[in-house]
Amino acid sequence: MRLDMYWTALVLLLPTVVFLTGRNLLLRPFHKFTRILRGSGQSEEREEVVCCNEKDEEASRFRRIFLQVYLLVMGSEWLQGPYMYTLLRDEKGLDESTVAWLYATNYIAAAVSALGVGFLADRFGRRLACLGFCIIHSIACLTVLSSSLPVIFLGRVLSGVGLTLLWTVFESWMVTEFNARGLHASSISLTTMFGIMTTSNCMCAILGGVLGHCLVLALRSRTNPFVLGIALEFVAVYLMFRDWNENYGTRQTTDEEEISEAPEKSSEGAFGDVRVWMLSFITCFFEGANFLILYFWPGMLQDAHRRALLEAGDEDAANASEVPYGVVFASFMATMILGALTFGVIAQQAGSGGGAPASLVNRVRRAVAPYQLFAAAIALASASLFLLGTVRSELGIFLSFHLYELCNGVYVPSIAYQRGIIVDESRRTGLYGLMKIPLFVFVILSLNLSAADDRKRRIALLVAGGTLLLASICAAMLKTKPQTDEKIADGVEFVQIGFDEKLDDASDDESVDDDSFDDDKRDV
């Protein structure tokens, strides 16, 4: 019966997320019907817009061929993610310290490979690098079928290299190909593509979590999501050979509308700006806490679940029952989407200049600047870590994880927003890489110092909560000014809705008064 709370959370969250992310699609039939009632005077204007934009059809086709590959490889990752820890600890029977070193090996490999992967992909081709990811990650998945510890360690090294490829080369291929085809002339902007990628990826993670749980439940082995992930990656390889062009790291000329300038660049240089160091501090400790949560949550929930059953006197169920990891992961992702949408509401109002009607919601929007929301989210995440370090009930731990994921949903677009304002475009890639160095050091030390027992794990969470409290103070000190609509693309477009067809709305924006359609006006 205690497992019901995990399914209940997903059943409540999933329809909410689907409605909020796909509301434009759901409301479009009503919107078109009301437009017909108003008359057909806008039809000529619509035809003119469509005729004048010959790139729309090509942009739509490009979006399709990229997303079908991108979501296959991301789906492979989301299928496996919730089960890695429990596979190593429970099914392989490895002790906690060994599992921690396997995770640390993964992060070390990711950090080291990040130094050369970008250069190699630029030199030999991004499509080749994407194909390389599928091969490397498939081999890493095969290693979990082995019981040999050296083979499993080799798999974690390959997985780390694959993780670096996954988060870099697919995006690089898309951006370069988008510019090479001249698709900035279409009604689908590059920032809109990022919005579609993000929302689709989150929904894919929810689906992957539920599907992974069903596989484990039906076939009674935690290795099955890894096997299905290999199949998805082979399909992605076929589609890349069939549909993708090769592109390289040549310098591309982009439309100035696609470039988000940094209006507050410091004349002292990148490292002379104290805000860059503040962002590095925030990145290190918040994303470090993310990695700790990724490692801790399966074991903490399973231990709390077993402890609750033992306290209830059901020893047989305590030994046999386990938490539905895929369902829990899916509910976490749904909560994270809600946090991202919260940032979108605040940042869009900040970028609009405050000209909206003075309703209660709009007054709240104008009262909260994006950097204040950023600081509040980090402070609330700190509180959730303090709760995780002290609460022992299963429900309390589950709700604390959800609170953290809500804050994480605000953090992801917020940090992109702040970087877009503070970090010089010409130095952005190098600085982002340097920001990761203290992050991996923090994660590796934390994992290995807290792997021994539950007490040390809770101490690690309390320490991480303290560092986030300091990070929230740094975020409050940033005091970045709200930007215009064009200059908040790094943050707002990151959470824009990805399930509505932008092309169908291109000529209708002027007739729409509802706030849910305001986002599309920037993309025309």
Nearest Cα to 20, choosing from 409, 356, 407? 409
Range list of H helices, 368-453: 370-390, 394-422, 428-450
Kindly report the number of other CB atoms within 10 A of residue 252's CB atom.
12
Ranges of residues in the chain with a pLDDT under 70 are 1-3, 22-54, 191, 195, 249-273, 316-320, 347-368, 420, 423-453, 480-524
Is the CB of residue 88 less than 8 Å from the CB of residue 99?
yes
Nearest Cα to 290, choosing from 197, 408, 438? 408
Would you state the structure tokens that stand for residue 1, as one six-digit string?
Answer: 């019966």
3-state secondary structure 430-497: HHHHHHHHHHHHHHHHHHHHHCCCHHHHHHHHHHHHHHHHHHHHHHHHHCCCCCCHHHHHHHHHHHCC
In sequence order, the 6+-apart residues with CB closer than 8 A to the CB of 344 are: 413, 492, 495, 496
- Residue 498 is predicted with a pLDDT of 39
**One fold for both 57-250 and 261-495?**
yes
Nearest Cα to 30, choosing from 522, 524, 514? 514
Distance separating alpha carbons of residues 77 and 93, to the nearest angstrom: 23
In terms of Cβ atoms closer than 10 Å to its own Cβ (0-12, 13-18, 19+), residue 31 is middle
Distance separating alpha carbons of residues 320 and 506, to the nearest angstrom: 55
Please give the CATH number for the structural domain made up of 261-495.
1.20.1250.20
**CATH of range 57-250; options 1.10.260.40, 3.40.50.1860, 1.20.1250.20, 3.40.50.2300:** 1.20.1250.20
- Residue 481 is predicted with a pLDDT of 55
- Residue 507 is predicted with a pLDDT of 38
The structural domains of the chain, with segments of one domain joined by +, span: 57-250, 261-495
What letter does residue 522 receive in the DSSP assignment?
G
Is the CB of residue 261 less than 8 Å from the CB of residue 487?
yes
Distance separating alpha carbons of residues 388 and 232, to the nearest angstrom: 35
